Structure 1
Amino acid sequence: MTSDTLEQQQELDKRRQADQAYDAIENLIATLQLRPGTPVVESELIARIGLGRTPTREALMRLVAYGLIAQLPRRGLMVSDIQLAEHLDLLEARRALERLIACCSARRATPRQREELLTCAAQMAEAAQREDLERYMRVDQLMDRVNHAACRNRFAVAAVVPMIVQCRRFWYAYRHHGDVAEGALAHQRLAEAIAGGDGESAARASDALIDSLRAFAQQVIA
């Protein structure tokens, strides 16, 4: 292995560890194991997720940028509050981005990505039937990643990811207002439309998914 190849592999390993740290911490926040207002102590997180200081810090920086963690003067890091008043505005912005991503994925996804989307949708339906909320959310996150990779529009993905993260936590916090099976069905229809390569159908399925999230949010806020 050449020195350049070794450096590339080391950089890839670092990026993978940072992604793993991000996934672990985001899951703790999204599932309210770290509740709003909880101080974020780096050493405790490192022990909890089992990863090093550098990937943990990189993950925390991303979560600050996404709004899940607030950086407060003289108080350090703290899990941010859920902003009920702004959530419908967030969904309005997310709708346009998700529609674009769905259309792009329908045109650009590889055969393997189309299969992966269908598999994720089936696993979400199974998790919903079993009322396994943690698995449902993990597969939901995986489906988003496949969809984002398939669309090949990094600017749209960069804009929508913080919104998805906020929506995931909102859903988990108020899940008693929602129908998990309905959510799984909306994801299945989106996966089928993208897998079928029909951009217009994918856009309509994306809108329907956001409609279901909006209806859920309105029940919570009312």
Structure 2
Amino acid sequence: MNAVKTAKAAGKPLKNMAYDALEDLLIRGKLPGGTMLSEAELAEQLGLGRTPVREAVQRLAQEGLINILPRKGLMVVDMSVTRQLQALEVRRPLERLLASCASHRANPEQRARMLDYARTTEETGAAGDGSQFLAIIKRNHALLEEASGNELIQSVMALVHARSRRFWFSHAQALDLKTASKLHSALLRSVSVGDEAESLANADRLVNYLEDFCRSTIAVYQHSGTASARPSSSNT
């Protein structure tokens, strides 16, 4: 599958390759909520060994995306607006803390990367390439977490970002990519120049948008009567 081929070409560790491939399947709706699976099935589907797949499954379970059921197998957790709003409730203060710490602690090399990432983020969002945008957003998150200089922030934010990503990418359309790319780029730029006040404001703007986006799916579902009313741009 494409995610595995791309990871192999980049020389990623096998466990990271398995994680990225499984997250890609979740986001694309190939593994809908309630699906029952086994590690053996996933290993065969991904073309990877059982050990890296097991490590990826454990990580997804920690992030609340898969339930491990003893003697039964694995079950994909259902997405819901409520779960997403709960994740965003936790994300807001953490996003602000992350922005504050990174704006103060980022080193010159990290700040330069932020400016470069901001440019490529906007370019990818404008192009409407959902799969590439997913990879870039994960890269942006990792850079900000690294620049925070706080290992606990890194580990906690990784969990929150994973939950947020699945919901957003499962519902986003091309216009959403453009909007999100501008917000993510603005946050990177303000952090890169060490402007804490603007970084905090941009962190709030990002979470405000994500909350509005989440609530907008409720209106779409009510109008259409189906949870698949908003096609995902990540399928493009």
Structure 2 gaps, min length 5:
1-11, 220-236
**Pick aligned residue for 2:123 from 101, 121, 126:** 126
CA distance in 2, matches of 1:50, 1:98: 36
2:37–2:74 Cα contact (<8 Å) kept:
yes
Structure 2 residue 213 is the aligned partner of structure 1 residue 213: no
CA distance in 2, matches of 1:110, 1:33: 40
Q: 1:159 offset after TM fit, Å?
A: 1.7
Secondary structure in 1 matching 2:37: coil
Structure 2 residue 53 is the aligned partner of structure 1 residue 56: yes
2:111–2:192 Cα contact (<8 Å) kept:
yes
Structure 2 residue 35 is the aligned partner of structure 1 residue 35: no
Structure 2 residue 68 is the aligned partner of structure 1 residue 71: yes
Amino acid at match of 2:57: L
Post-superposition CA distance 1:27-86 (Å, at most 9, x none): 221232322222233223223434332222111111111111012354310111002223
Q: What's the TM-score, normalizing by structure 1?
A: 0.86
Structure 1 gaps, min length 5:
1-14
**Number of residue pairs the alignment of both structures matches:** 208
Query: Which residue number corresponds to residue 88 of structure 1?
Result: 85
Amino acid at match of 1:142: R
Q: What's the TM-score, normalizing by structure 2?
A: 0.81
Distance 1:117 1:32, change over 3 A: farther
1:120–1:140 Cα contact (<8 Å) kept:
no
CA distance in 2, matches of 1:102, 1:20: 28
CA distance in 2, matches of 1:145, 1:50: 27
1:30–1:165 Cα contact (<8 Å) kept:
no
2:67–2:77 Cα contact (<8 Å) kept:
yes
1:72–1:78 Cα contact (<8 Å) kept:
yes
**Pick aligned residue for 2:170 from 161, 170, 173:** 173
CA distance in 2, matches of 1:76, 1:112: 44
Amino acid at match of 2:37: V
CA distance in 1, matches of 2:117, 2:45: 28
Query: Which residue number corresponds to residue 3 of structure 2?
Result: none
CA distance in 1, matches of 2:191, 2:109: 12
In the TM superposition, structure 1's runs of 4+ consecutive aligned residues that sit over 4 Å from their partners are none
Query: Which residue number corresponds to residue 184 of structure 1?
Result: 181
1:68–1:166 Cα contact (<8 Å) kept:
yes
Secondary structure in 1 matching 2:67: strand
Amino acid at match of 1:93: V
Query: Which residue number corresponds to residue 132 of structure 2?
Result: 135
